Structure 1
Amino acid sequence: MTKIVISSRSFSSGSLDLLAKLSTAGFTTKFVDSKHDLTELAQELPGAVAWIAGTSKITSEILNLAPNLKIIARYGVGFESVDLTEAKARGIIVTNTPGANSLAVAELTIGLTLNALRAISTSASQVRSSDWSVIRGNQLEGSIVGIIGFGRIGRILAAKFHALGCELWISDPFVDANEIKAAGYLAKSVSEIAANANVVSLNAPGDGAIVDKNWFTNSRMGQVIINSARAELVDESAVAEALKSGKLFAYAADTLQGEKNSSSSPLMAADIANKVTITAHLGAQTVAAIDLMGNMATENVLAVLAGKAPINPVN
């Protein structure tokens, strides 16, 4: 068997022809629905030896359809969508692509920050309507930037914000304060960041709300919050209320809760449209990041199918 199933929509869509690379190695490829339609998977998975997977869930029920699967190569960093216990029980290796899109996400975060501070997209939209009224914003240099989550993306962001003349306050319970200090930044609590930071960047893992109603009881007036991580890190209703009251200057994110019904989000309210910027998961969408993620996933697949150890195992 030589079939490799692919459920990541952007795989091999950059500058590298990774499908040709897999073909040259002697494998056939089959793209399937990224949402994992069970009827389609029941037809394609039995003959598959490898799966290059996106973010949709891979459950025990789905794994039952893949008796010959040797590897699930996650096309991305997160692997919580894969039932690791069931995969291990079946002898299926799971890999990911750590760091492949970190720079791309960090750069988007910088862009969202500048847009929020200077109302760039709002002004551009107004000009198209022949409205040349001036919007006064805030400068980034000299700001206190609080980064919550000091992983790969958080570290790249800190360096970039520092280069732009910002003071960096970092909060991460899994990173020693001395390590943060050695990098030239200040280790602070989440509450200290809420109370003092001009700009807050959410880069933490998990799905618990960091920015909620309690955040705004003690937060700095006129704060800007950027969320390039997960929608669940904020209480969208609380953020919307803070924007309406003026407590929060602007909010920008690369994600939104209930994306299929995004029009119902309180952040989509017309009266705060000029204070909110939401992008459609652009974080990893650069040619370089797509190439790197795809090539890492491909190399993991080829290694395992050649009987070698995977490069980036997670189980």
Structure 2
Amino acid sequence: MNWNVLVTSRSFGTVGSEAVNILKAANIHVDYIQASEFERCIEQYDALIIGAHEFTSDIMRRCNKLKIICKHGAEIDNIPIKTAQEMGITVTNAPGVNANPVADLAFGLLLTIARQIAYTNKIIHMGQWKTATGTDIYGKTLGLLGFGSIGKNMAKRAKGFDMKVLAYDLYVNELSYEYSHVKLCGLHEVLQCSDFVSLHLPLTPNTNQLISHSAISKMKKGSYLINTAKGEIIDEYALYEALASGHLAGAAVDVCAVEPIHAESPLLTLDNFIITPHIGVYTKEAIASVSRICAKNIAAKLCGGSIEFSVTDTKL
């Protein structure tokens, strides 16, 4: 039997041919579309490989052929899981694959904003050769909000800089020996005592705009904020005010509340604000791995086999 899979993820199969070949070998036809065309044609497909765009319950309820949704990544907040469970649609993701790439980027952003790397590069390109004074990282305190796989990898990187690490995570109660340099503590202590605060939390009703005016006011004067998690965790106007006033020395983010960021955002007028276009998982190795997981799960669902990383535990 022939099956059809729709791909809306921009990066699926862009590194190597293994993932696409897995689907072809299982007689699964692959179509690629832009997310803007998704609602028009999704009802025709047996399987979906989805990126970060929204998939509403109303649209899903029209998808009588759909048997499996594979998130090309780890976060599944854009997929209505309850509706999928009601309809018997399997939903999978690829947890852990992005842990090292995102931690690499987060620590890279920390280095970049602290040592004025992006700013000095920009002014040299503008024809100015002048120095800028940065901040030491070695021996400072790194605060981690969220201590899952990415947060843990950040802690490992911080150890090489002899940083003290404070971590806030409601679901972590004890630490193994390899994290002996990490102290679990409350949110306020992390904010008040850290020279650098890095966000690694999922987006939930409790974390939406967690970094508010009030939270930022508790942060050390002259500290830095890093966000490679979800843009909605930060109140962006509060961030702008803190950066413009000098309360925060700098912020570096890979995400924002609305992507792409609005061209008129006041944050873009600030030299102490760095933004990258949501590239945390965009390494060749991570893309190839996530694509392979998605392809294998679709082939297993449609043709028979073992599915990995199901978040719905439904059966065909």
TM-score past 0.5 threshold: yes
CA positional deviation for 1:125: 1.2
Shift of 1:180: 6.7
Q: Matched residues in 1 for 2:133 and 2:184: separation?
A: 32
Does 2:160 match 1:179? no
Q: Secondary structure at the match of 2:46?
A: strand
CA gap of 1:259–1:51, structure 2 versus 1, over 3 A, is closer
Alignment-derived partner of residue 210 in structure 1: 210
Is 1:290 matched up with 2:287?
Answer: yes
Q: Would the aligned equivalents of 1:256 and 1:262 in 2 still touch at CA under 8 Å?
A: no
SS of 2:58's partner is: helix
Distance (whole Å) between structure 2 residues aligned to residue 203 and residue 36 of structure 1: 31
| In 2, Cα distance between equivalents of 1:280 and 1:83 | 25
- Assess if the C-alpha contact under 8 Å between 1:32 and 1:40 holds in 2: no
Task: Map Cα deviations across residues 145-197 of structure 1 (whole Å, 9 max, x no partner).
Answer: 00000011111111111122211111111110x32777211112111111111
Using the size of structure 1 for normalisation, the TM-score is 0.92
User: Is 1:106 paired with 2:103?
Assistant: yes
For residue 123 of structure 1, report the CA deviation from its aligned partner.
0.4
- 1:267-286 equivalences in 2 (<5 Å): 267-268=267-268, 270=269, 272=270, 274-286=271-283
Which residue is equivalent to 2:128? 131
Q: Which residue of 2 aligns with 1:197?
A: 194
Per mean C-alpha deviation after superposition, the further-off stretch among 62-71 and 215-224 is 62-71
DSSP 3-state at the match of 1:243: helix
**Pair 1:2 & 2:9 matched:** no
30-39 or 3-12: which moved more? 30-39
- Say if 2:165 is the partner of 1:168: yes
Structure 2 counterparts to residues 133-152 of structure 1, below 5 A: 133-152=130-149
Aligned-partner SS, 2:213: coil
CA displacement at 1:83 relative to structure 2? 1.6
Amino acid at match of 1:24: A
Q: 5+ unaligned residues in a row in structure 2: which ranges?
A: none
Are 1:225 and 2:225 matched, yes or no? yes
Deviates more, 1:150-159 or 1:235-244: 235-244
Q: Residues of 2 paired with 1:167 and 1:38: CA distance?
A: 48
Question: Would the alpha carbon gap of residues 90 and 66 (structure 1) be closer, same or farther in structure 2, given more than 3 Å must change?
Answer: same
CA pair 168-68 structure 1, distance change in 2 beyond 3 A: same
| Aligned-pair identity (%) | 27
Deviation at 1:60, TM superposition (A): 3.0
Query: How many residues were matched structurally?
Result: 307
1:49 corresponds to which residue? 46
Q: Does 1:29 align with 2:23?
A: no
- Aligned AA (1:34): A
Q: Corresponding residue for 2:40?
A: 39
Contact in 1 for aligned 2:255/2:275 (Cα 8 Å): yes
Question: 1:128 Cα deviation (Å)?
Answer: 1.8
Structure 2 residue aligned with 1:235: 235
Measure, in 2, the Cα distance between the counterparts of 1:132 and 1:139: 22
Corresponding residue to 1:78 among 61, 75, 78: 75
> How much does 1:215 deviate?
2.1
- CA gap 1:79/1:216 in 2 versus in 1, 3 angstroms: closer
Among 43, 63, 67, the alignment partner of 1:66 is 63
Q: Distance in 2 between matches of 1:239 and 1:88?
A: 38
For the residue of structure 2 that corresponds to 1:262, the secondary structure is: coil
Preserved contact between residue 14 and residue 290 of structure 1 (Cα < 8 Å) = yes
Q: 2:299 aligns to what SS in structure 1?
A: helix
Q: Distance in 2 between matches of 1:36 and 1:96?
A: 22
1:251-293 deviation digits (Å, cap 9, x = unpaired)? 010012223451232312x2x2x10001100101110110011
- Offset at residue 56 of structure 1 (A): 1.8
SS class of match (1:308):
coil
- TM-score, length basis structure 2: 0.92
Identify the residue that residue 305 of structure 2 maps to in structure 1: 308
TM-superposed deviation, 1:65? 3.7
Aligned-residue offset at 1:9: 1.2
Q: Distance in 2 between matches of 1:216 and 1:78?
A: 26
Whether the aligned pair in 1 keeps the contact of 2:20 and 2:295 (CA below 8 Å) is no
Is the 8 Å Cα contact of residues 150 and 175 (structure 1) preserved in structure 2? yes
Q: Could you tell me whether the CA contact under 8 Å between 1:250 and 1:275 is conserved in 2? A: yes
